[in-house]
Amino acid sequence: MSIACDPASLAKASTCFSGLSDEQLLQIQTYVLAVVAGGSLDPKTLMKAATCFSGLSNDQLSQIQDYVICQWAQQQGSPVTPVVPVPPALIYSAVAFNDDGGSTDNLLRVFTSPDALTFTQVSQSYSDTGGSALRDPTIIYYYGKYWCAYTEDGGFYYGSAYFGLASSPDGITWTKVGDITCFTGSPPSNISYEWAPSWFIDPADGSLHLILNINDISGVGFFQPYEAHPTNSAMTTWSSAVAITGSTFVSDAKSMIDAFMDFKNGTYYLWYKNDTDKYIELASSASPFSGYTKIKTGNWAGWGHGNISGSNNGYEAPASLNLPNGNTRVLIDSSVSQGMYYSDSVDYVTWPALQLVTTLNTGVGPMDQLECRLLTPPV
């Protein structure tokens, strides 16, 4: 039968969504997004299509869902209440590295999770084929492959003027792509560290970027965040690293490491560890790579240093992800206890006390630097 998309028909079609959880609604939004993207599952195409939904309320998103379901029912010639194709359950992909000081030290560890809290390890085999230590991994799916960038240990205290890059068809079996410098010609002589890379896909245009933490590139004497990006789909050529700027990023002379970029509700956020004062801090901007203002500094959340056993170097490597219920979760590791912690915020302003991620601290061994993402497709 033919169905008109009038208010009564839409209201009847909307009963398909009655009683669904936030997670199920997000799955349907993903299906709608694929429809808007013309059926493409390419991450860049989906990210570009996602801008259609930026800033919409839940009511508006529900109206869009109703409209698409009604149109789908018309095309299929089915009743007003159609059977909706439900995408697979959400699966998060996560990476960390082994830090046990033994035979498996510095191996890449890959996990999956249904909720970004309950993790199952699916791989622990890849190590840098050049003999360097593998630390601080970051994972993304782009150009039809999984990509892992990581810190390499080329000398004293994980020092190298490049980062490692590996690719995988399935997120399990990895092949090294190369050592990436992100400089034109040889790196400047005063550069000895490129630490803790992290991927970022800009929702404005779907472009891929890598956030790096580089020491003393301009002679300031401390770490600052930088941006670089691949210039071909094989990721064998890269742009030169460019500083991410903020109003006090240089003038306050605070060393910034473990930078991680996020985007929510029209604002770019930059998490980092203030390695001078040893706190997890946060900056924000209307643009991805400039104009940042530090909005959360010092012991702003009451988390302290994570100074277990008297050390002030405990908490580091913040990595955030936006959840289906609208909250944002930040994951933080303790280099002292080698445990993982998290805090969920409803508004990106108030952040509760850190809680232990128990499934990563029972029977999996010492590890560091957990990063969790909702990848399409998941590992």
Domains in the chain, please, with CATH? 7-76 (no CATH), 92-373 (2.115.10.20)
Q: Which of residues 226 and 313 earns the better pLDDT score?
A: 226
pLDDT, tens digit, for every residue of 211-228? 999 886 555 567 899 999
pLDDT score recorded for residue 2: 37
Q: Which of residues 99 and 227 earns the better pLDDT score?
A: 227
CA distance linking residue 62 with residue 52, whole number of Å:
14
Query: Checking DSSP bridges between strand 163-168 and strand 120-124, what pairing results, if any?
Result: unpaired
pLDDT score recorded for residue 116: 93
Which residue is associated with the tokens 């990721």? 235
314: left (phi over 0), alpha (psi -120 to 50) or beta: alpha
Phi, psi of 33, deg, nearest 5: -60, -40
Distances (CA, A) of 350 to 103, 272, 320, 327, 346: 41, 17, 14, 11, 7
Q: What six digits make up the tokens of 373?
A: 């993402």
pLDDT score recorded for residue 359: 79
Strand ordering across the sheet containing 120-124:
120-124, 108-113, 92-98, 367-373
pLDDT, tens digit, for every residue of 326-369? 999 999 988 665 678 999 999 999 999 999 988 775 444 556 67
pLDDT score recorded for residue 377: 80
**Terminal alpha carbon distance of the chain:** 41
Q: What six digits make up the tokens of 53?
A: 């939904």
State the average pLDDT for the chain.
Answer: 78
pLDDT, tens digit, for every residue of 115-174? 999 999 898 888 887 767 788 999 999 999 999 999 887 544 455 678 999 999 999 999
Q: What six digits make up the tokens of 57?
A: 């309320």
